[in-house]
Chain A
Amino acid sequence: MTTTTYDDTSVTVDDEGFFTDPGQWTEPMAQQIARELDIETLTDRHWQVLKFMRTEYEAKGTGPTVRVLGKTSGVSVKELYQLFPKGPAKTAAKIAGIPKPRGCI
Protein backbone atom coordinates (compact mmCIF):
# COMPACT_ATOMS: atom_id res chain seq x y z
CA MET A 1 0.00 0.00 0.00
CA THR A 2 1.33 3.42 -0.94
CA THR A 3 0.12 6.90 -1.78
CA THR A 4 0.35 8.78 -5.03
CA THR A 5 -0.96 12.09 -6.34
CA TYR A 6 -3.50 12.62 -9.10
CA ASP A 7 -5.12 15.99 -9.86
CA ASP A 8 -3.22 17.50 -6.91
CA THR A 9 -4.90 15.07 -4.53
CA SER A 10 -3.21 12.31 -2.56
CA VAL A 11 -4.80 8.85 -3.05
CA THR A 12 -4.06 5.37 -1.72
CA VAL A 13 -3.06 2.67 -4.21
CA ASP A 14 -1.85 -0.91 -3.94
CA ASP A 15 1.58 -2.20 -5.04
CA GLU A 16 0.39 -2.41 -8.66
CA GLY A 17 -1.17 1.07 -8.70
CA PHE A 18 -4.84 0.13 -8.30
CA PHE A 19 -6.99 2.40 -6.11
CA THR A 20 -7.78 0.78 -2.79
CA ASP A 21 -10.54 3.30 -2.03
CA PRO A 22 -12.67 4.03 -5.15
CA GLY A 23 -14.24 6.95 -3.25
CA GLN A 24 -10.97 8.90 -3.64
CA TRP A 25 -11.22 8.83 -7.47
CA THR A 26 -12.47 11.76 -9.52
CA GLU A 27 -13.04 12.02 -13.27
CA PRO A 28 -10.17 14.51 -13.81
CA MET A 29 -7.77 11.90 -12.35
CA ALA A 30 -8.70 9.41 -15.09
CA GLN A 31 -6.99 11.28 -17.93
CA GLN A 32 -3.74 11.52 -15.97
CA ILE A 33 -3.77 7.79 -15.11
CA ALA A 34 -4.58 6.95 -18.75
CA ARG A 35 -1.59 8.93 -20.00
CA GLU A 36 0.68 7.04 -17.61
CA LEU A 37 -0.63 3.87 -19.28
CA ASP A 38 0.09 5.20 -22.80
CA ILE A 39 -3.52 6.08 -23.63
CA GLU A 40 -3.28 9.69 -24.85
CA THR A 41 -6.96 10.59 -25.00
CA LEU A 42 -10.00 9.10 -23.33
CA THR A 43 -12.78 8.95 -25.92
CA ASP A 44 -16.52 8.50 -25.32
CA ARG A 45 -16.02 4.77 -25.94
CA HIS A 46 -13.34 4.65 -23.20
CA TRP A 47 -15.71 6.45 -20.85
CA GLN A 48 -18.53 4.04 -21.64
CA VAL A 49 -16.31 1.22 -20.38
CA LEU A 50 -14.93 3.15 -17.40
CA LYS A 51 -18.40 4.11 -16.15
CA PHE A 52 -19.59 0.55 -16.63
CA MET A 53 -16.61 -0.72 -14.61
CA ARG A 54 -17.47 1.55 -11.69
CA THR A 55 -21.16 0.63 -11.76
CA GLU A 56 -20.30 -3.08 -11.80
CA TYR A 57 -17.83 -2.61 -8.96
CA GLU A 58 -20.43 -0.83 -6.85
CA ALA A 59 -22.98 -3.60 -7.51
CA LYS A 60 -20.74 -6.64 -7.19
CA GLY A 61 -17.66 -5.62 -5.20
CA THR A 62 -15.27 -6.49 -8.05
CA GLY A 63 -14.61 -5.26 -11.56
CA PRO A 64 -15.86 -7.44 -14.45
CA THR A 65 -13.66 -9.76 -16.52
CA VAL A 66 -12.97 -9.02 -20.18
CA ARG A 67 -15.54 -11.61 -21.28
CA VAL A 68 -18.25 -10.12 -19.09
CA LEU A 69 -17.30 -6.63 -20.34
CA GLY A 70 -17.61 -7.89 -23.93
CA LYS A 71 -21.06 -9.31 -23.24
CA THR A 72 -22.51 -6.49 -21.20
CA SER A 73 -20.70 -3.15 -21.65
CA GLY A 74 -21.83 -2.61 -25.25
CA VAL A 75 -18.21 -2.73 -26.46
CA SER A 76 -16.93 -5.92 -28.14
CA VAL A 77 -13.87 -7.75 -26.80
CA LYS A 78 -11.97 -6.85 -29.97
CA GLU A 79 -12.71 -3.15 -29.52
CA LEU A 80 -11.92 -3.37 -25.82
CA TYR A 81 -8.39 -4.47 -26.75
CA GLN A 82 -8.13 -1.59 -29.22
CA LEU A 83 -9.21 0.87 -26.53
CA PHE A 84 -7.08 -0.65 -23.77
CA PRO A 85 -4.28 -2.56 -25.57
CA LYS A 86 -2.50 -3.71 -22.42
CA GLY A 87 -5.44 -5.75 -21.14
CA PRO A 88 -8.88 -4.12 -20.83
CA ALA A 89 -10.02 -5.47 -17.46
CA LYS A 90 -6.92 -4.39 -15.56
CA THR A 91 -6.17 -1.20 -17.46
CA ALA A 92 -9.76 0.05 -17.33
CA ALA A 93 -9.99 -0.84 -13.62
CA LYS A 94 -6.87 1.20 -12.94
CA ILE A 95 -8.13 4.23 -14.89
CA ALA A 96 -11.62 3.90 -13.38
CA GLY A 97 -10.13 3.99 -9.88
CA ILE A 98 -11.34 0.60 -8.65
CA PRO A 99 -9.31 -2.25 -7.10
CA LYS A 100 -7.70 -4.92 -9.29
CA PRO A 101 -10.43 -7.30 -10.54
CA ARG A 102 -10.32 -10.59 -8.67
CA GLY A 103 -9.05 -13.33 -10.95
CA CYS A 104 -11.24 -16.42 -11.07
CA ILE A 105 -9.69 -19.45 -9.45
Chain B
Amino acid sequence: MDKSIVILGSGTAGTLTANRLRRMYDERECRITVVDQNDDHVYQPGLLFVPFGLAEPHALVRPRPRQLLDGIAYRSAEIDRVDLAAEQVHFTDGTSLGYDVLVVATGASLLPEETEGLTGPGWGEKVHTFYDLPGAVALHQALERFEGGRVVIDVADLPIKCPVAPLEFAFLADWYFQRRGIRDRVELTYVTPLDGAFTKPVAAKALGGLLEEKGIELVTEFALGEVDGAGGRLVSYDEREVPFDLAVVVPVHGGAEYVERSPGLGDELGFVPVDRHTLQHPDHPYVFAIGDAAGLPASKAGSVAHFEGEVLAHNIGRFLAGKPLDASYDGHTNCFIETGFHKALLIDFNYDTEPLPGHFPGALGLPLLKESRANHLGKLAFEWLYWHSLLPGRELPGIGSAMPEHGKTHTPA
Protein backbone atom coordinates (compact mmCIF):
# COMPACT_ATOMS: atom_id res chain seq x y z
CA MET B 1 0.00 0.00 0.00
CA ASP B 2 1.32 3.41 -0.93
CA LYS B 3 -1.27 5.94 0.14
CA SER B 4 -1.29 9.59 1.07
CA ILE B 5 -3.32 11.02 3.94
CA VAL B 6 -3.49 14.80 4.18
CA ILE B 7 -4.68 16.32 7.45
CA LEU B 8 -5.68 19.97 7.33
CA GLY B 9 -5.15 21.56 10.74
CA SER B 10 -2.74 20.77 13.52
CA GLY B 11 -4.76 21.57 16.62
CA THR B 12 -6.05 18.98 19.06
CA ALA B 13 -7.99 16.91 16.51
CA GLY B 14 -5.50 17.08 13.63
CA THR B 15 -2.48 16.32 15.78
CA LEU B 16 -3.94 13.36 17.62
CA THR B 17 -5.36 11.94 14.38
CA ALA B 18 -1.97 12.17 12.65
CA ASN B 19 -0.25 10.48 15.58
CA ARG B 20 -2.86 7.72 15.81
CA LEU B 21 -2.54 7.03 12.08
CA ARG B 22 1.25 7.09 12.31
CA ARG B 23 1.06 4.35 14.95
CA MET B 24 -1.09 2.30 12.53
CA TYR B 25 1.10 2.70 9.44
CA ASP B 26 4.82 3.01 8.81
CA GLU B 27 6.13 5.55 6.32
CA ARG B 28 6.39 3.05 3.45
CA GLU B 29 2.71 2.12 3.77
CA CYS B 30 1.29 5.56 4.10
CA ARG B 31 2.50 9.15 3.80
CA ILE B 32 0.90 11.43 6.38
CA THR B 33 1.10 15.19 5.84
CA VAL B 34 -0.22 17.74 8.33
CA VAL B 35 -0.85 21.31 7.23
CA ASP B 36 -1.31 24.43 9.34
CA GLN B 37 -1.06 28.14 8.68
CA ASN B 38 0.89 28.96 11.86
CA ASP B 39 3.22 26.96 14.08
CA ASP B 40 1.74 27.79 17.50
CA HIS B 41 -0.33 25.11 19.20
CA VAL B 42 -2.32 26.73 22.01
CA TYR B 43 -3.61 24.66 24.95
CA GLN B 44 -7.10 26.14 24.67
CA PRO B 45 -8.51 24.91 28.01
CA GLY B 46 -5.90 27.18 29.63
CA LEU B 47 -7.42 30.32 28.08
CA LEU B 48 -10.09 30.35 30.79
CA PHE B 49 -7.46 30.82 33.49
CA VAL B 50 -5.45 33.63 31.85
CA PRO B 51 -7.90 36.48 32.66
CA PHE B 52 -7.76 35.61 36.36
CA GLY B 53 -3.96 35.39 36.48
CA LEU B 54 -4.15 31.63 37.05
CA ALA B 55 -2.16 30.70 33.91
CA GLU B 56 0.81 32.30 32.20
CA PRO B 57 0.03 32.91 28.50
CA HIS B 58 3.43 31.74 27.23
CA ALA B 59 3.09 28.42 29.11
CA LEU B 60 0.04 27.52 26.99
CA VAL B 61 1.86 27.59 23.64
CA ARG B 62 4.11 24.93 22.11
CA PRO B 63 5.38 24.42 18.53
CA ARG B 64 2.94 22.44 16.35
CA PRO B 65 5.56 20.28 14.54
CA ARG B 66 7.03 19.14 17.86
CA GLN B 67 3.70 17.49 18.79
CA LEU B 68 3.87 15.18 15.76
CA LEU B 69 5.57 11.78 15.83
CA ASP B 70 8.59 11.09 13.61
CA GLY B 71 7.67 10.24 10.06
CA ILE B 72 4.80 12.73 9.80
CA ALA B 73 5.45 15.54 7.31
CA TYR B 74 4.53 19.01 8.54
CA ARG B 75 3.78 21.83 6.14
CA SER B 76 3.32 25.44 7.17
CA ALA B 77 1.02 26.93 4.54
CA GLU B 78 -2.21 28.83 4.06
CA ILE B 79 -4.97 26.83 2.40
CA ASP B 80 -6.70 28.49 -0.53
CA ARG B 81 -9.28 25.78 -1.32
CA VAL B 82 -9.93 22.09 -1.71
CA ASP B 83 -10.80 20.80 -5.19
CA LEU B 84 -12.90 17.76 -4.31
CA ALA B 85 -13.24 16.56 -7.93
CA ALA B 86 -9.49 16.62 -8.55
CA GLU B 87 -8.66 15.46 -4.98
CA GLN B 88 -6.20 18.33 -4.53
CA VAL B 89 -5.60 20.90 -1.81
CA HIS B 90 -4.50 24.26 -3.24
CA PHE B 91 -2.41 26.67 -1.19
CA THR B 92 -2.24 30.46 -1.46
CA ASP B 93 1.42 30.24 -2.55
CA GLY B 94 0.29 28.50 -5.77
CA THR B 95 1.37 24.98 -4.81
CA SER B 96 -0.96 22.02 -4.30
CA LEU B 97 -1.08 18.60 -2.68
CA GLY B 98 -2.98 15.47 -3.72
CA TYR B 99 -4.47 12.95 -1.32
CA ASP B 100 -6.07 9.53 -1.08
CA VAL B 101 -7.79 10.52 2.15
CA LEU B 102 -8.39 14.07 3.35
CA VAL B 103 -9.07 14.87 7.00
CA VAL B 104 -10.48 18.31 7.73
CA ALA B 105 -9.41 19.34 11.23
CA THR B 106 -9.13 23.10 10.90
CA GLY B 107 -11.33 23.83 13.89
CA ALA B 108 -13.67 26.74 14.41
CA SER B 109 -12.89 30.44 13.89
CA LEU B 110 -14.06 33.40 15.96
CA LEU B 111 -16.14 35.84 13.89
CA PRO B 112 -16.60 38.92 16.11
CA GLU B 113 -17.10 41.16 13.09
CA GLU B 114 -20.37 39.32 12.31
CA THR B 115 -22.06 40.98 15.31
CA GLU B 116 -22.92 44.63 14.82
CA GLY B 117 -20.74 46.89 16.96
CA LEU B 118 -18.82 44.10 18.70
CA THR B 119 -15.46 45.17 17.26
CA GLY B 120 -16.45 48.86 17.32
CA PRO B 121 -15.85 51.43 20.08
CA GLY B 122 -14.82 49.80 23.36
CA TRP B 123 -13.51 46.56 21.77
CA GLY B 124 -10.42 45.55 23.74
CA GLU B 125 -11.21 48.19 26.37
CA LYS B 126 -14.53 47.39 27.99
CA VAL B 127 -15.70 44.74 25.50
CA HIS B 128 -13.56 41.60 25.54
CA THR B 129 -13.37 37.93 24.72
CA PHE B 130 -11.17 35.28 26.30
CA TYR B 131 -11.54 32.82 23.41
CA ASP B 132 -8.11 33.60 21.95
CA LEU B 133 -4.79 34.29 23.61
CA PRO B 134 -4.48 38.05 22.88
CA GLY B 135 -8.09 38.51 24.05
CA ALA B 136 -7.51 36.57 27.27
CA VAL B 137 -4.39 38.64 28.04
CA ALA B 138 -6.20 41.95 27.40
CA LEU B 139 -9.08 40.80 29.60
CA HIS B 140 -6.64 39.98 32.41
CA GLN B 141 -5.45 43.58 32.33
CA ALA B 142 -9.03 44.90 32.22
CA LEU B 143 -10.04 42.76 35.22
CA GLU B 144 -7.06 43.96 37.21
CA ARG B 145 -8.14 47.57 36.60
CA PHE B 146 -11.81 46.87 37.37
CA GLU B 147 -12.96 48.35 40.67
CA GLY B 148 -16.70 47.71 40.53
CA GLY B 149 -19.79 47.85 38.33
CA ARG B 150 -21.72 45.59 35.96
CA VAL B 151 -19.88 42.65 34.42
CA VAL B 152 -21.79 40.77 31.73
CA ILE B 153 -20.80 37.42 30.26
CA ASP B 154 -22.59 36.89 26.95
CA VAL B 155 -22.71 34.02 24.49
CA ALA B 156 -23.57 35.62 21.14
CA ASP B 157 -24.79 32.46 19.39
CA LEU B 158 -24.13 28.75 19.18
CA PRO B 159 -22.25 26.61 18.31
CA ILE B 160 -19.15 27.72 20.23
CA LYS B 161 -15.97 26.03 21.35
CA CYS B 162 -16.34 24.63 24.88
CA PRO B 163 -19.96 25.59 25.65
CA VAL B 164 -19.30 25.40 29.40
CA ALA B 165 -16.36 27.87 29.39
CA PRO B 166 -18.57 30.99 29.61
CA LEU B 167 -20.29 29.50 32.68
CA GLU B 168 -16.91 28.68 34.18
CA PHE B 169 -15.86 32.27 33.52
CA ALA B 170 -18.91 33.51 35.47
CA PHE B 171 -18.16 31.19 38.41
CA LEU B 172 -14.48 32.16 38.45
CA ALA B 173 -15.36 35.88 38.21
CA ASP B 174 -17.43 35.47 41.39
CA TRP B 175 -14.42 33.83 43.08
CA TYR B 176 -11.98 36.42 41.66
CA PHE B 177 -13.93 39.45 42.89
CA GLN B 178 -14.48 37.84 46.31
CA ARG B 179 -10.75 37.21 46.58
CA ARG B 180 -10.13 40.87 45.74
CA GLY B 181 -12.68 41.87 48.37
CA ILE B 182 -14.90 43.82 45.95
CA ARG B 183 -17.62 41.24 45.15
CA ASP B 184 -20.24 43.45 46.83
CA ARG B 185 -19.41 46.19 44.31
CA VAL B 186 -19.78 43.91 41.28
CA GLU B 187 -23.03 42.82 39.60
CA LEU B 188 -22.49 39.65 37.57
CA THR B 189 -24.90 38.71 34.78
CA TYR B 190 -24.80 35.63 32.54
CA VAL B 191 -26.55 36.14 29.20
CA THR B 192 -27.33 33.23 26.88
CA PRO B 193 -29.36 32.57 23.73
CA LEU B 194 -30.49 29.28 25.29
CA ASP B 195 -33.64 28.97 27.41
CA GLY B 196 -31.60 27.90 30.45
CA ALA B 197 -28.04 27.86 31.79
CA PHE B 198 -27.28 24.86 29.56
CA THR B 199 -29.03 22.84 26.89
CA LYS B 200 -30.00 19.62 28.60
CA PRO B 201 -32.58 19.74 31.43
CA VAL B 202 -30.71 18.01 34.30
CA ALA B 203 -27.47 19.93 33.69
CA ALA B 204 -29.34 23.20 33.06
CA LYS B 205 -31.02 22.85 36.46
CA ALA B 206 -27.77 22.05 38.30
CA LEU B 207 -25.78 24.83 36.60
CA GLY B 208 -28.64 27.34 36.90
CA GLY B 209 -28.79 26.52 40.63
CA LEU B 210 -25.09 27.26 40.97
CA LEU B 211 -25.49 30.65 39.25
CA GLU B 212 -28.26 31.50 41.71
CA GLU B 213 -26.21 30.35 44.71
CA LYS B 214 -23.36 32.59 43.64
CA GLY B 215 -25.60 35.60 43.07
CA ILE B 216 -25.13 35.67 39.30
CA GLU B 217 -28.18 36.90 37.39
CA LEU B 218 -29.26 34.70 34.46
CA VAL B 219 -30.74 36.26 31.28
CA THR B 220 -32.02 33.66 28.81
CA GLU B 221 -33.19 33.59 25.16
CA PHE B 222 -31.09 36.68 24.43
CA ALA B 223 -29.97 36.66 20.79
CA LEU B 224 -27.24 39.28 20.57
CA GLY B 225 -28.04 41.75 17.78
CA GLU B 226 -25.76 44.64 18.65
CA VAL B 227 -23.02 45.66 21.06
CA ASP B 228 -23.06 49.34 21.94
CA GLY B 229 -19.58 49.64 23.42
CA ALA B 230 -19.74 53.42 23.89
CA GLY B 231 -23.13 53.29 25.59
CA GLY B 232 -22.33 50.10 27.53
CA ARG B 233 -25.33 48.08 26.28
CA LEU B 234 -25.94 44.67 24.76
CA VAL B 235 -29.02 44.82 22.55
CA SER B 236 -30.89 41.70 21.46
CA TYR B 237 -32.68 41.23 18.15
CA ASP B 238 -35.99 41.51 20.01
CA GLU B 239 -34.79 44.86 21.39
CA ARG B 240 -34.10 43.93 24.99
CA GLU B 241 -31.08 45.60 26.59
CA VAL B 242 -28.50 44.48 29.13
CA PRO B 243 -26.26 47.28 30.46
CA PHE B 244 -22.59 46.70 31.27
CA ASP B 245 -19.40 48.35 32.45
CA LEU B 246 -17.34 45.37 31.29
CA ALA B 247 -18.62 42.87 28.72
CA VAL B 248 -17.09 39.46 28.12
CA VAL B 249 -18.56 38.24 24.83
CA VAL B 250 -18.08 34.87 23.18
CA PRO B 251 -18.32 35.79 19.48
CA VAL B 252 -20.17 33.71 16.90
CA HIS B 253 -18.12 30.89 15.43
CA GLY B 254 -17.74 29.58 11.90
CA GLY B 255 -15.54 27.09 10.11
CA ALA B 256 -12.25 27.95 8.42
CA GLU B 257 -12.50 30.45 5.55
CA TYR B 258 -11.15 28.11 2.86
CA VAL B 259 -14.11 25.74 3.48
CA GLU B 260 -16.43 28.37 2.00
CA ARG B 261 -14.11 28.68 -1.03
CA SER B 262 -14.30 24.91 -1.59
CA PRO B 263 -17.60 24.05 -3.33
CA GLY B 264 -19.30 21.01 -1.85
CA LEU B 265 -17.07 20.76 1.21
CA GLY B 266 -18.92 22.67 3.95
CA ASP B 267 -22.31 23.85 5.21
CA GLU B 268 -23.66 27.41 5.49
CA LEU B 269 -21.53 28.11 8.59
CA GLY B 270 -18.33 26.70 7.08
CA PHE B 271 -18.40 23.46 9.06
CA VAL B 272 -17.99 20.14 7.25
CA PRO B 273 -21.03 17.86 7.32
CA VAL B 274 -20.14 14.26 8.16
CA ASP B 275 -21.99 11.14 9.24
CA ARG B 276 -22.40 11.54 12.99
CA HIS B 277 -21.18 8.01 13.66
CA THR B 278 -18.49 7.34 11.01
CA LEU B 279 -17.21 10.96 10.51
CA GLN B 280 -17.21 10.44 6.73
CA HIS B 281 -18.45 13.17 4.35
CA PRO B 282 -21.88 12.16 2.95
CA ASP B 283 -21.01 13.07 -0.66
CA HIS B 284 -17.25 12.53 -0.77
CA PRO B 285 -16.14 9.22 0.78
CA TYR B 286 -12.46 10.20 0.63
CA VAL B 287 -13.13 13.11 2.98
CA PHE B 288 -13.50 12.94 6.75
CA ALA B 289 -13.82 15.71 9.35
CA ILE B 290 -13.05 15.71 13.05
CA GLY B 291 -13.18 18.06 16.02
CA ASP B 292 -14.55 21.59 15.85
CA ALA B 293 -14.43 21.61 12.03
CA ALA B 294 -17.08 18.88 11.85
CA GLY B 295 -20.72 19.95 11.56
CA LEU B 296 -22.03 17.51 14.14
CA PRO B 297 -24.64 17.90 16.90
CA ALA B 298 -21.86 17.41 19.46
CA SER B 299 -19.96 19.92 21.59
CA LYS B 300 -16.98 21.67 20.11
CA ALA B 301 -14.60 20.47 22.81
CA GLY B 302 -11.24 18.76 23.04
CA SER B 303 -12.73 15.65 24.60
CA VAL B 304 -14.94 15.21 21.54
CA ALA B 305 -11.86 15.36 19.29
CA HIS B 306 -10.19 12.80 21.51
CA PHE B 307 -13.09 10.35 21.46
CA GLU B 308 -13.68 10.90 17.73
CA GLY B 309 -9.98 10.30 17.04
CA GLU B 310 -10.16 6.66 18.05
CA VAL B 311 -13.13 6.09 15.72
CA LEU B 312 -11.68 8.12 12.85
CA ALA B 313 -8.28 6.39 12.74
CA HIS B 314 -9.97 3.00 12.75
CA ASN B 315 -12.42 4.00 10.00
CA ILE B 316 -9.68 5.46 7.79
CA GLY B 317 -7.86 2.14 8.16
CA ARG B 318 -10.98 0.28 7.04
CA PHE B 319 -11.54 2.71 4.17
CA LEU B 320 -7.99 2.34 2.84
CA ALA B 321 -8.33 -1.43 3.07
CA GLY B 322 -11.52 -1.26 0.99
CA LYS B 323 -13.68 -2.53 3.85
CA PRO B 324 -16.95 -1.05 5.17
CA LEU B 325 -16.57 1.43 8.03
CA ASP B 326 -17.51 -0.22 11.31
CA ALA B 327 -16.43 2.14 14.11
CA SER B 328 -19.15 4.38 15.46
CA TYR B 329 -18.81 7.62 17.42
CA ASP B 330 -21.65 7.95 19.97
CA GLY B 331 -21.33 11.69 20.65
CA HIS B 332 -19.37 11.12 23.87
CA THR B 333 -18.35 14.39 25.54
CA ASN B 334 -16.68 14.90 28.87
CA CYS B 335 -16.04 18.29 30.51
CA PHE B 336 -14.71 19.53 33.81
CA ILE B 337 -16.52 22.71 34.83
CA GLU B 338 -14.43 24.92 37.09
CA THR B 339 -16.63 26.57 39.73
CA GLY B 340 -14.08 28.57 41.74
CA PHE B 341 -12.75 28.07 45.28
CA HIS B 342 -10.67 25.06 44.07
CA LYS B 343 -13.72 23.06 43.07
CA ALA B 344 -15.13 21.77 39.80
CA LEU B 345 -18.04 19.75 38.41
CA LEU B 346 -17.76 17.02 35.83
CA ILE B 347 -20.28 16.24 33.08
CA ASP B 348 -20.30 13.24 30.77
CA PHE B 349 -22.85 12.68 28.01
CA ASN B 350 -23.42 11.61 24.41
CA TYR B 351 -25.90 12.11 21.54
CA ASP B 352 -28.63 10.19 23.35
CA THR B 353 -27.90 10.54 27.08
CA GLU B 354 -27.91 13.97 28.70
CA PRO B 355 -25.40 14.88 31.45
CA LEU B 356 -26.64 12.91 34.48
CA PRO B 357 -25.57 12.70 38.13
CA GLY B 358 -23.59 9.72 39.40
CA HIS B 359 -19.90 8.93 38.99
CA PHE B 360 -17.38 8.70 36.12
CA PRO B 361 -16.10 6.43 34.66
CA GLY B 362 -17.70 3.97 37.11
CA ALA B 363 -19.44 3.86 40.49
CA LEU B 364 -16.17 4.57 42.34
CA GLY B 365 -15.03 7.38 40.05
CA LEU B 366 -15.26 11.17 40.06
CA PRO B 367 -18.62 12.69 41.04
CA LEU B 368 -20.79 13.90 38.15
CA LEU B 369 -22.73 17.19 38.24
CA LYS B 370 -21.51 17.85 41.76
CA GLU B 371 -18.82 20.24 42.94
CA SER B 372 -15.73 18.57 44.32
CA ARG B 373 -12.06 19.23 44.93
CA ALA B 374 -11.23 15.95 43.15
CA ASN B 375 -12.76 17.30 39.92
CA HIS B 376 -10.71 20.49 40.23
CA LEU B 377 -7.55 18.42 40.61
CA GLY B 378 -8.67 16.37 37.62
CA LYS B 379 -9.00 19.53 35.55
CA LEU B 380 -5.50 20.67 36.53
CA ALA B 381 -4.02 17.21 35.86
CA PHE B 382 -5.60 17.23 32.44
CA GLU B 383 -3.01 19.67 31.04
CA TRP B 384 -0.21 17.11 31.50
CA LEU B 385 -2.38 14.38 30.01
CA TYR B 386 -3.17 16.63 27.04
CA TRP B 387 0.45 17.13 25.98
CA HIS B 388 1.75 13.69 26.93
CA SER B 389 -1.11 11.30 26.26
CA LEU B 390 -4.00 12.84 24.32
CA LEU B 391 -2.04 14.65 21.60
CA PRO B 392 0.38 11.74 21.01
CA GLY B 393 -2.74 9.66 20.34
CA ARG B 394 -2.40 7.28 23.27
CA GLU B 395 -5.37 5.70 25.00
CA LEU B 396 -6.28 7.19 28.39
CA PRO B 397 -6.53 4.27 30.82
CA GLY B 398 -10.17 3.39 31.53
CA ILE B 399 -11.52 6.17 29.28
CA GLY B 400 -12.53 4.96 25.83
CA SER B 401 -14.51 6.54 23.02
CA ALA B 402 -17.85 5.02 24.04
CA MET B 403 -19.65 6.79 26.89
CA PRO B 404 -19.68 4.64 30.07
CA GLU B 405 -23.19 3.88 31.35
CA HIS B 406 -22.37 2.32 34.71
CA GLY B 407 -22.10 4.88 37.47
CA LYS B 408 -24.80 7.15 36.00
CA THR B 409 -28.06 7.82 37.80
CA HIS B 410 -30.99 7.96 35.39
CA THR B 411 -33.53 10.21 37.06
CA PRO B 412 -37.16 9.88 35.99
CA ALA B 413 -38.32 12.56 33.52
Tell me the residues in window 258-312 of chain B with beta carbons closer than 8 Å to chain A beta carbons: 268-269, 297-299
CB-CB under 8 A for A105 and B299, given A66-B223, A81-B238, A86-B238: yes
Does A37 reach chain B (CB closer than 8 Å)? no
**B238 lies within 8 A of A104 (CB):** no
CA distance in complex: A86, B238 (Å): 8
Does B237 reach chain A (CB closer than 8 Å)? yes
CA distance in complex: A67, B270 (Å): 13
Chain B interface secondary structure, helix, strand, loop or mixed?
A: loop
Does B200 reach chain A (CB closer than 8 Å)? yes
Does B367 reach chain A (CB closer than 8 Å)? no
Distance in angstroms from B99 CB to nearest chain A CB is 28
Of the residues A62, A85, A104, contact of B158 by C-beta under 8 Å: A104
Does A103 reach chain B (CB closer than 8 Å)? yes
Does A51 reach chain B (CB closer than 8 Å)? no
Query: Contacts of A104 on B, CB cut-off 8 Å?
Result: 158-160, 163, 199, 297
**Could you list 8 examples of A-B contacts with CB < 8 Å?**
A65-B158, A66-B157, A67-B157, A72-B268, A77-B225, A86-B238, A104-B163, A104-B199
Q: Which of B237, B252, B269 has the most CB of A within 10 A?
A: B237
> Other than the known A65-B158, A87-B238, what 9 A-B pairs have Cβ atoms closer than 8 Å?
A66-B223, A66-B237, A67-B157, A68-B268, A68-B269, A71-B268, A85-B238, A104-B159, A105-B297
| In the complex, residue of chain A having the shortest beta-carbon distance to the beta carbon of B354 | A105
Query: Contacts of B297 on A, CB cut-off 8 Å?
Result: 62, 102, 104-105
Does B138 reach chain A (CB closer than 8 Å)? no
Query: Contacts of B113 on A, CB cut-off 8 Å?
Result: none
B contacts, CB < 8 Å to A: 157-160, 163, 194, 198-200, 221, 223, 225, 237-238, 252, 268-269, 297-299, 333
**B238 lies within 8 A of A77 (CB):** no
Give the 10 A-B CB pairs with smallest separation, nearest first. A104-B158, A104-B159, A81-B237, A103-B199, A105-B199, A71-B268, A105-B299, A72-B268, A67-B157, A81-B238
Q: Which of A65, A71, A86 has the most CB of B within 10 A?
A: A65
**A105 lies within 8 A of B237 (CB):** no
A contacts, CB < 8 Å to B: 62, 65-68, 71-72, 77-78, 80-81, 85-87, 102-105
Query: Contacts of B299 on A, CB cut-off 8 Å?
Result: 105
**A103 lies within 8 A of B225 (CB):** no
**B221 lies within 8 A of A87 (CB):** yes
Of the residues B157, B160, B238, contact of A65 by C-beta under 8 Å: B157
Q: Which of B297, B298, B299, B333 has the most CB of A within 10 A?
A: B297
Query: Contacts of B200 on A, CB cut-off 8 Å?
Result: 105
Query: Contacts of B199 on A, CB cut-off 8 Å?
Result: 103-105
Distance in angstroms from B111 CB to nearest chain A CB is 10
CA distance in complex: A71, B252 (Å): 13
CA distance in complex: A66, B223 (Å): 9
Query: Contacts of A65 on B, CB cut-off 8 Å?
Result: 157-158
Distance in angstroms from B410 CB to nearest chain A CB is 19
